[in-house]
Amino acid sequence: MSKGKHEVAMLGGGCFWCTEAAFDELRGVEKVEPGYAGGSVPNPTYKQVCSGSTGHAEVVQVSFDPDAITYRDLLDVFFTVHDPTTLNRQGADVGTQYRSVVFYHDEEQKHAAEEAIEVLEASKVWNDPIVTEVSPAPTFFPAEEYHRDYYRRNPGQGYCQVVITPKLAKLRKAHFERLKDNDAGDRPTGEGQVRPYQTEPRNPIDQGGIAE
């Protein structure tokens, strides 16, 4: 979806703390907002979504400048920082709210998503079939304020250290040229060993002392 020179993408790849932190690193991304989409309940709360009863996915709404980064670039990053082959699950986070999903705003975005998936499947990057849902964008409901900029504000929290930091290390290594701060130092090499699966689930009730 285009807003003047800017466009908007809506993507779900598990915990939105992870995807928000990843997309916020990219040059050309103006704003990343965590929220909920794809369910049956208007204005859902975090607790409701975590119960799995509303049908919503945790997503991020990404506003970006297509002259600086394309929608396809965003998809490349999206498929780097989450596992699109696990149905309704990302590591230890299990439930339909953690499903892999691309919510497209127009036919161009739909085609780009389908093409990206076809390329990945043909290249055998993943051993298992990709289960990413590709659906028309529904209403986006912004998440509660305490979820916003979660990684930036809570880098020492257990889930952030165990799950998000390794994802960002993988992003920085694979997409160094797209980072906002890629002129600040040398290209990353082997630092930040990336775990294939997270080992600490996110507690839906108490997040490092934050409860709703």
User: Residue 88's domain is classified under what CATH number?
Assistant: 3.30.1060.10
Predicted TM-score of the model (pTM): 0.86
Contact 115, 50 (CB under 8 A): no
Q: What is the pLDDT at residue 181?
A: 82
User: Over the stretch 1-14, which tens digit does the pLDDT of each residue have?
Assistant: 555 589 999 999 99
Q: How does strand 89-90 pair with strand 57-64?
A: unpaired
> Can you tell me whether residue 12 is helix, strand or coil?
strand
User: Over the stretch 31-72, which tens digit does the pLDDT of each residue have?
Assistant: 999 999 999 999 999 999 999 999 999 999 999 999 999 999
DSSP string, 123-188: HT-SSSPP--EEEE----EEPPGGGTTHHHH-TTSHHIIIIIHHHHHHHHHHSGGGBTTTTSSPPP
> What total number of domains does the chain contain?
1
Distance, CA of 164 to CA of 79 (rounded, Å)? 15
Q: Tell me which DSSP letter residue 97 carries.
A: G
Contact 38, 55 (CB under 8 A): yes
Cα angle for residues 168, 171, 175 (degrees, 5° grid): 150
Q: Tell me which DSSP letter residue 26 carries.
A: B
Q: What is the pLDDT at residue 188?
A: 45
Cα angle for residues 33, 61, 4 (degrees, 5° grid): 110
Active site residues: 15
Residue ranges of the chain whose pLDDT lies below 70:
1-4, 183-212
Q: What is the pLDDT at residue 182?
A: 72
Secondary structure (H, E, C), 65-92: CCCCCCHHHHHHHHHHCCCCCCCCEECC
Contacts of 44 (CB under 8 A, 6+ apart): 36, 54, 56, 141
Contacts of 94 (CB under 8 A, 6+ apart): 88, 201
Range of the structural domain that residue 7 is part of: 2-211
